[in-house]
């Protein structure tokens, strides 16, 4: 059984009248990835800032790799890496110069800083762009360089605050790949995100955050099955078929119908099986389908389920 690399107990933090953290509890096992899922303003960034020693909590306690963030901030800083929402890379410097500079600031000597920069550029797929200035990098490359910088000292715990916000799908996949590389090196990761599919892709554990506290905390599989797995969306040719189609879908999960858009949505557990069965049943009844899609539940649907 692994021990815990990250423990938060009853963290509270107020900004004026607003409670950013309101009894935040979390425990992440060593070498695993925890996805902290929540909408804007749920307290994700505040939680990360407290655990990375940037912000002092009003109450509660947190330990990172066994060090208390309030009492032993210097020790914590020696074992963590932090990538904020905005890549903190230097636009004027090249990718290599950025990594060497940050390496020197982690107190590697000049030769080791250069060697580590080369390793990381290779590892994060930036070797070809190493000597280009960051202002010529794409959004995804910037993020990857930022992640590489957090990885210089081989951190034991890595904090990634919305690592893919504002990226297009291709760049997102590249960043996910970079995160997997880091996890493969045995690092514990806390990743905040607004997207369930991102947490699902990367995390061993998903904690759902709302109003500054964790309202659900489980493995992605158990969390998904508790919220009914995937969602099946159907758009019918004719709104008059809706009631009959509802009956078909009801066999898989409670459907929701919207007559205006002729859309039906139902949670399904065995996605491909459900899709096949539904399409067959609708065809047998002569109901025409204009569009069909299988998708992950949105954050709204997760919250509805979790708080129900």
Token pair, residue 24, equals: 């935040």
Report in angstroms how near the CB of residue 58 gets to other proteins at its nearest: 10
Task: Determine contact, residues 64/80, Cβ cutoff 8 Å.
Answer: yes
136 versus 170: smaller Cβ distance to other proteins: 136
Give me the phi and psi of 24, to 5 degrees please: -85, 120
Report in angstroms how near the CB of residue 159 gets to other proteins at its nearest: 8
Token pair, residue 38, equals: 């929540």
Q: Per rule CB under 8 A, is residue 74 in the interface with other proteins?
A: yes
87 versus 297: smaller Cβ distance to other proteins: 87
- 3-state secondary structure at position 129: helix
Task: Determine contact, residues 35/203, Cβ cutoff 8 Å.
Answer: yes
Nearest to 65 by CA among 202, 152, 189, 209: 189
Nearest to 224 by CA among 255, 189, 193, 267: 267
Report in angstroms how near the CB of residue 125 gets to other proteins at its nearest: 22
Q: Per rule CB under 8 A, is residue 197 in the interface with other proteins?
A: no
53 versus 164: smaller Cβ distance to other proteins: 53
Q: Per rule CB under 8 A, is residue 77 in the interface with other proteins?
A: yes
Considering only 86, 122, 258, 291, the residue that binds other proteins (CB under 8 A) is: 86
* Interactions with other proteins, residue window 45-64 (CB under 8 A): 49, 52-56
Report in angstroms how near the CB of residue 135 gets to other proteins at its nearest: 10
Stretch that binds other proteins, among 26-34, 84-92, 220-228, 268-276 (CB under 8 A): 84-92
* Interactions with other proteins, residue window 97-116 (CB under 8 A): 97, 101-102, 104-107
Q: Per rule CB under 8 A, is residue 71 in the interface with other proteins?
A: no
Considering only 149, 203, 257, 266, the residue that binds other proteins (CB under 8 A) is: 149
**Bridging pattern class, strands 205-210 and 188-193:** unpaired
Report in angstroms how near the CB of residue 198 gets to other proteins at its nearest: 20
User: CB-side exposure of 44: number of CA atoms within 13 Å?
Assistant: 26
Q: Per rule CB under 8 A, is residue 12 in the interface with other proteins?
A: no
Q: Per rule CB under 8 A, is residue 127 in the interface with other proteins?
A: no
Nearest to 29 by CA among 187, 226, 215: 187
H helix intervals, the chain: 44-51, 73-77, 95-105, 110-123, 139-150, 169-184, 196-202, 220-226, 242-250, 271-284, 299-307
Nearest to 26 by CA among 192, 151, 180, 146: 192
42 versus 80: smaller Cβ distance to other proteins: 80
- For helices 271-284 and 242-250, give the axis angle rounded to 10 degrees: 140
Considering only 42, 80, 190, 302, the residue that binds other proteins (CB under 8 A) is: 80
Report in angstroms how near the CB of residue 164 gets to other proteins at its nearest: 16
Which spans of this chain sit near other proteins (rule: CB under 8 A)?
Answer: 49, 52-56, 74, 77-78, 80, 82, 84-88, 90, 92-93, 97, 101-102, 104-107, 133, 149
């Amino acid at each position: 059984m692994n021990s815990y690399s990250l423990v938060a107990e009853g963290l509270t933090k107020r900004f004026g009248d607003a409670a950013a953290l309101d009894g935040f509890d979390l425990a992440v096992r060593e070498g695993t990835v925890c996805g902290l899922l929540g909408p804007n303003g749920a307290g994700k960034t505040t939680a990360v800032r407290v655990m990375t020693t940037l912000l002092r909590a009003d109450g509660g306690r947190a330990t990172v790799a066994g060090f208390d963030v309030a009492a032993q901030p210097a020790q914590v800083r020696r074992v963590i890496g932090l990538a904020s929402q905005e890549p903190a890379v230097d636009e004027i410097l090249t990718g290599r110069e950025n990594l060497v500079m940050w390496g020197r600031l982690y107190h590697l000597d000049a030769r080791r800083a250069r060697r580590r920069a080369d390793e990381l550029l290779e590892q994060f797929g930036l070797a070809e762009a190493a000597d280009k200035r960051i202002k010529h990098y794409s959004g995804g490359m910037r993020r990857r360089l930022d992640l590489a910088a957090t990885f210089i000292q081989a951190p034991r715990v890595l904090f990634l605050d919305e690592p893919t916000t504002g990226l297009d799908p291709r760049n997102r996949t590249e960043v996910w790949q970079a995160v997997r590389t880091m996890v493969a090196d045995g690092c514990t990761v806390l990743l905040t995100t607004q997207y369930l599919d991102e947490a699902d892709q990367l995390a061993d554990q998903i904690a759902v955050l709302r109003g500054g506290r964790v309202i659900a905390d489980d493995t992605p599989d158990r969390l998904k099955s508790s919220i009914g797995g995937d969602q099946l969306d159907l758009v019918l040719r004719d709104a008059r078929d809706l009631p009959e189609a509802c009956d078909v879908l009801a066999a898989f999960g409670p459907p929701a119908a919207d007559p205006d858009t002729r859309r039906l949505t139902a949670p399904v557990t065995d996605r491909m099986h459900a899709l096949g069965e539904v399409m067959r049943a609708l065809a047998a009844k002569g109901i025409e389908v204009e569009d069909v899609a299988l998708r992950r539940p949105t954050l709204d649907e997760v919250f509805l389920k979790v708080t129900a």
